[in-house]
Amino acid sequence: MSERNRIGGDRRRGLTRRGALAGIAAGGALLAAPATLRAQGRARLRWWSPQASPEQLAAYRFQIERFMAANPGVEVVFEKTSDEGYQPQMAAAFASGEVPNIVTHLPSFAVSDYWSNGLLEPFNEVIEAIGPEKFFPGANDIYEIDRGVYAGTGIGNSAANMLWVRRDLMEKAGIDRIPRTWDELRDACRRMQGGGVYGAPLPYAKNSMTTLTIIGFIHLAGGSVFSPDLEVALDSEATRNALEFYASMRELCPPGATNYSWGESLTAFVSGATATGIYTGRVLINVNKQNPAIADHVTCATYPTISADVAPWTFNDFPSVMIPRQAGDMDATKAFAAFLFDPEGYIRQLHAAPGHVLPVLKTINDDPRYRDNDIIRKYPAEVELMAAAAAAGHNLGWETKAHRPNVKAGAIVGSGVLADMVQRVVLNGENVDRVVGETARAIEAIMKS
């Protein structure tokens, strides 16, 4: 990468630290863009995100209205994208040049992919405007794909593969502790299944949830998809054990699990159709709103592993913030990106789904206003566990601390080859050795493309 693209190398398009700090109020929040920006005429900023529940939309409106009130020359428009379909939407936007100004809540491996293709604006100046000292230590490491340059930052953390359980069903089945291993989980699900309740809501469709679930299971079996130096390591005993476990759980999942994605899996547990769940902390607010009868019986743990000597592995997709390089009104765009972390608005955004997206700023995590929330007060142990698990979490773009960043992770997830592997072995009964070998070769081809 040329020096022009490194931090500060293209400042004529960016928001300088001095310019950004000109808009910081006495309380320390970025309330307004530089005055020179507002004198340039009306700017129209487009904000894309797949996270758009009614509560989140209300929080976004609050942030937008507050920013526009402080910046009369700027209009911000929110546009919802798709969890499963963001890749073609982004591809079309980049190809046409009609890009949004800011994109939030995509996984970090998507940010890495777009950065490696030269499609993103460096994020250093936004991080400087927010205050790098406010982030949890190491929070931005995953975005430092090129040394000294950040491709984006996190809008939050997530613990996407927590095990959710019902204490009341455990007690009824005579289960005295939350399962720690796969054998214990299978046994618990079998004992709790019955009377219209299934054991688990695992996905078996060809989609991102199945892909990300099998990646997690491979790690929970003690393996990885890649070696630390990014050689394909899929063809392993750990992968075979993960597929065997996945197959053994099929009879404990609802018949419709062959079509499950994130929404269906979440609803299955929240509605009471399954005794366990696998999801982020969105479970908490959904249970309290949609099925309060079970709200006092719900808790979570890190997902079980193949054996007690294998450490848990939490999938954190690192919901991110990024700025397309082709975006116009770059000063206003960077000012708005930094403003998203203004405490009053950021806390409202986090409170829209407490425990689902967890703060990346330590200053917010310690803020009494963040702690002053009914869900966070009701489930302090669960929220703390998720925060700790997410902070130590990983994904295919950065499988462990020993791994190099993998800028092809987004392409691999988007290809569906890992979900296809699950379907071929688990649903179609194909030979596991042949399927795993073919999947490994398909991933190798993506890495070389």
Structural tokens at position 196: 């219209």
Q: What are the residue ranges of helices labelled H in 193-249?
A: 208-220, 237-248
Q: Minimal CA–CA distance to 330: which of 40, 52, 56, 30?
A: 40
pLDDT of 17 reads: 36
Percent of the chain with pLDDT over 90: 85
HSE-CB for 296 with a 13 A CA cutoff:
1
Beta bridge partners of 244: none
Distance in angstroms (rounded) separating the CA atoms of residues 433 and 60:
48
pLDDT of 416 reads: 96
Tokens 């404990």 correspond to 252
pLDDT band at 210 (very low <50, low <70, confident <90, very high): very high
pLDDT of 40 reads: 53
CA angle 214, 392, 309 (to 5 degrees): 65
Strand 74-80 relative to strand 102-106: parallel, antiparallel, unpaired? unpaired
The DSSP 8-state label assigned to residue 427 in this structure reads I
**Would you say residue 27 has pLDDT above 50?**
no
Reduced to 3 states, what is the DSSP secondary structure of residue 318?
coil
**Would you say residue 35 has pLDDT above 50?**
no
The DSSP 8-state label assigned to residue 366 in this structure reads T
**Would you say residue 288 has pLDDT above 80?**
yes
Q: Tell me: the pLDDT tens digits for 5-24?
A: 333 333 323 343 333 333 33
**Would you say residue 167 has pLDDT above 60?**
yes
Contacts of 173 (CB under 8 A, 6+ apart): 188, 191, 192
pLDDT of 85 reads: 76
Beta bridge partners of 44: 75
Q: Minimal CA–CA distance to 51: which of 232, 234, 282, 224?
A: 282
Provide the angle, in degrees to the nearest 10, between the axes of the packed helices 86-96 and 108-116: 30
For residue 278, what is the enclosing H or E element?
strand 276-279
pLDDT band at 71 (very low <50, low <70, confident <90, very high): very high
What value does the mean pLDDT take over residues 186-194?
98
Q: Tell me: the pLDDT tens digits for 119-132?
A: 999 999 999 999 99
Contacts of 187 (CB under 8 A, 6+ apart): 179
pLDDT of 82 reads: 81
Structural tokens at position 104: 């939030």
Q: Are 220 and 305 in contact (CB under 8 A)?
A: yes
Note the pTM of the prediction, 2 decimals. 0.84
pLDDT band at 4 (very low <50, low <70, confident <90, very high): very low
Residue 412 CB neighbour total at 10 angstroms? 24
pLDDT of 391 reads: 87
Q: Which residue has the higher pLDDT, 255 or 3?
A: 255
Distance in angstroms (rounded) separating the CA atoms of residues 131 and 136:
11
Distance in angstroms (rounded) separating the CA atoms of residues 141 and 139:
6
**Would you say residue 28 has pLDDT above 60?**
no
Contacts of 429 (CB under 8 A, 6+ apart): none
What value does the mean pLDDT take over residues 378-396?
94
pLDDT band at 70 (very low <50, low <70, confident <90, very high): very high
**Would you say residue 230 has pLDDT above 70?**
yes
Q: Tell me: the pLDDT tens digits for 291-335?
A: 999 999 999 999 999 999 999 999 998 999 999 999 999 999 999
What value does the mean pLDDT take over residues 344-368?
94
pLDDT band at 32 (very low <50, low <70, confident <90, very high): low
pLDDT of 249 reads: 98
Lowest mean pLDDT among 82-86, 112-116, 191-195, 389-393: 82-86
pLDDT of 87 reads: 85
pLDDT of 41 reads: 59
Burial (CB < 10 A; 0-12, 13-18, 19+), residue 197, is middle
pLDDT of 182 reads: 98
pLDDT of 24 reads: 31
| Residue 164, φ and ψ in degrees, nearest 5 | -105, 135
Lowest mean pLDDT among 30-39, 198-207, 425-434: 30-39
HSE-CB for 444 with a 13 A CA cutoff:
12
Q: Are 356 and 388 in contact (CB under 8 A)?
A: no
Q: Rounding to the nearest 10 degrees, give the CA dihedral for residues 139, 144, 148, 153.
A: -50
pLDDT of 42 reads: 80
Q: Tell me: the pLDDT tens digits for 131-165?
A: 999 999 889 999 998 999 999 999 999 999 999 99
Tokens 């425990």 correspond to 355
**Would you say residue 233 has pLDDT above 60?**
yes
* Domains of the chain, earliest start first: 3-157+317-378 (3.40.190.10), 162-313+402-448 (3.40.190.10)
